[in-house]
Amino acid sequence: MRIWAGWLTRGRWLIVAGWALLAIAGGALGGSVFDHAQSVGQLSADAESLRAEARLQQLKPEGETVFAISRDVDPYDPALVATTTEVAHQVRGLFGVHEVGDLYTAPGGQIGQGNRSTLVRVTFEPGASEAEIDAAVAVLRRLPNVLVGGKPLAERAFADQAVADAALGEGLALAALTLLLVVVLRRGAIAPLAAAVAAITTTLLALAGLARLTPISEYTVNVVTLLGLGLAVDYSILLLWRYREANDLAVALRTAGRAVLVSGGMVGAAMAGLAVFGEPLLAAMALGGLLVTVVATAASLTLTPALLAILGPLARSRGPLGRPGASGRSRGPLSVHGPFRVILARKGRYSDPNSPRSILDRLAAVAQKGPESVAFASAALLIILTLPFVAAELRNTDARGLPSSAEARQAYEVYLRDFQRGQADVVTVVVDTGSGGAAMRDYLDRLNRLPGVDQLQLRLEMPADATVVDLTPASSSQGPSVVRAVREVPAPAKSLVGGPAAELADYQDSVTGHFPVVLTVLLAAAGALLFALTRSVVIPVKAVLLNLLTLGASLGVLAVVFGGRLDVTTPVLLFVFIFGLTTDYEVFLLARITEEHRSGYATDEAVRRGIARTGPVVTLAGLSLILVFLGFVLGGLSAVREIGVGMAVAIALDVTVVRGLLLPAAMTLLGRWNWWPGDKGGEASGANRAPSTERAPSGVPAAARKITSR
């Protein structure tokens, strides 16, 4: 690493210039990725629900559908009748329109519940262009007091809102981060902020190029912004902290740089695990997540050290405004200032009497005094917080995921209230045989008697060699169970089950089926990387268990915040993000604990010293990441808000309950077994080293505190 540090120091201006050029190019050209962003489906093409939809298109080809609802009107008012009839006539004459249904020219016309709204439905030809749809929508807007909605309009609104949310979230998060880091780090804040901007813009530049080769989801940009800000800032803070402590760039890269590499590998493995689920939407997000992880790690290991080399004494300064304190004493490697000093650190009891003692340090001290009770209470708290998620309802993304001000959402909600009247979406069964035989009649009878089926209706307009049946579940929550029950009933010929409930069931079943593989990938990655860091098998297993507790508690809190209904993709994304990002703090802490242990300190003392020395940086990194995710809570898309809230809760729990209480309690209980099968009995590994002049917490030489019972 000293060679690497020397190269970075000598070429520091060239490295900064290279990253600056990439950032400028990304800022100028990376925005084109928004023009290529598209709606990517949740399911792979071989999902049964999508094959059922394709079969229906073969039997009766239909294009997209939009609808217009006139609210608070008298359906029989002569003026409304005349306007609606004229509008429907004009829409029928447009290119790409297949069918128009209104109240006065059946089929398709309806009067809403309460007799105060009317519906006009427009079905387009297969393959109708966006311009043809827009032309029809423009005519529909001539209806009085109208709301226009439908799937194509909702998809477009989702894409536009995702771009707006990314810009808003990035702006708010960057502003809040700048304030926090400047107050806490002063001039040293330049490095993490520059790394974050470079990571995001460079990744967007890469995505703009890849968008011409592979689908890029509108949500991919959100993932890039979230991870780019969080990872680059966290990693740069860690390097800056170690550089200030050691006053040596080579030492910072050898210690903190190694932790950054391990953490980047863990996050990258988590993103790769997201792709293993095999669904297009998750794969598109995984692409952005993997790219930004690689770029953020590279920026942290090249741009950040180069900036530290350029800043020199300014980066190492620990007093206000980058100057030493009045007494000439160091204020600690984090240079904590102002009101944040109360949160991040205060005068402590460790080797340097002026070193900060963080919240994490104080929590760890409590945990090590009573490890059994603290471990039990902390784990019990996290498990209790998980319970609300057990009863949560997972739902498909629909127009209700848009902001309440979006017309597509308002139209859909009025449609559900006035025209669908609380009925669940139908489950559609397509059978490749006619409906007249005895076997088919028996099959339909068995379907009608299934638990949860409220109504069965045949579609009469289908070809004679196929039967299409719509089953209405008693409630929306019963839809997936009805789908699975239908698939268990033997059909007289080849059958396919489709509809929104079937799509939800297919997604849930796909995630459940792939989860063991994903978990194996993440366990293998965690085991390999943390073993390389600690030479222990126990520590990686413990890390995974702690991450799962954090995930469960976060999902439980999220279920309470969002009223028990979550987007179906949220648990999967949170699982991967939490696994990757909370490992940051695991790695930061373990890297220093392992370093202290290899210096000859017993496990208890190594844990105390490791947390004392890393507590401020973990706390600051946690605060930074929480600000990043809270910046997206104000977004318009419910799925983005769920991820923002879920991750903010996860980081808050992880930095306090998990890393502050549960981790030190568990390591204290395990003692030397933490290091199995490596240096389990090696508490004496540093016994032959020269005694340290460093003072231990008790005031006696630190060497006297080494090699104790644990």
Residue matched to tokens 């205060």: 346
Task: Give the torsion sign (CA, 93, 97, 99, 105).
Answer: negative
| Most confident stretch, 205-219, 233-247, 530-544 | 233-247
- Residue 650's pLDDT is 93
Q: What is the pLDDT of residues 617-637, one digit of tens each?
A: 888 888 888 988 888 888 888
Write down the H helix ranges in 438-566: 438-448, 479-488, 500-534, 538-561
Per-residue pLDDT at 427: 93
Mean pLDDT of 534-548: 85
pLDDT tens figures, 360-379 = 788 888 889 999 999 999 99
Cα 445 from Cα 492, distance rounded (Å):
13
Q: What is residue 554's predicted lDDT score, i.e. its pLDDT? A: 94
Q: Which domains does the chain have, with CATH numbers?
A: 2-34+157-322+349-392+506-688 (no CATH), 48-144 (3.30.70.60)
- C-alpha–C-alpha distance, residues 339 and 582, integer Å: 26
The mean pLDDT value for 515-521 works out to: 85
Mean per-residue pLDDT for 506-533?
84
Q: What is the mean pLDDT of residues 564-587?
A: 85
Nearest CA among 579, 560, 561, 558 for reference residue 570: 558
494-516 residue pLDDT tens: 999 999 899 989 988 888 888 88
Q: What percent of the chain stands above pLDDT 90? A: 33
How confident is the model at residue 706, as a pLDDT?
39
Q: Nearest to residue 174, comparing CAs of 154, 156, 200?
A: 200
User: What pLDDT is recorded for position 230?
Assistant: 87
Q: What is the pLDDT of residue 409?
A: 94
Among 10-19, 273-282, 525-534, name the most confident range.
Answer: 10-19
For residues 125 and 62, what is the distance between their CA atoms, to the nearest angstrom?
Answer: 6
> What angle is formed at CA 33 by the lines to CA 30 and CA 38, rounded to 5 degrees?
170
Residues in the chain: 710
DSSP type of residue 515: H
Predicted confidence band of residue 316 (pLDDT cuts 50, 70, 90): low
Residue 693 confidence (pLDDT) above 80 = no
Which amino acid is it at 647? M
**Contact indicator for 109, 120 with CB cutoff of 8 Å:** yes
Residue 541, pLDDT > 90, answer no
Closest CA to 203 of 169, 231, 176: 231
| Tens-digit pLDDT profile for residues 376-402 | 999 999 999 999 999 888 888 888 889
Judge whether residue 421 has pLDDT over 80: no
Half-sphere exposure of 598 (CA within 13 A, CB side): 12
CA distance from start to end of the chain? 32
| More confident site: 594 or 215 | 594
pLDDT digits (tens, 9 = 90+) for 333-365: 444 444 445 445 544 444 443 444 667 788 888
Q: Compute the distance between CA of residue 55 and CA of residue 433 in angstroms, rounded to an integer.
A: 13
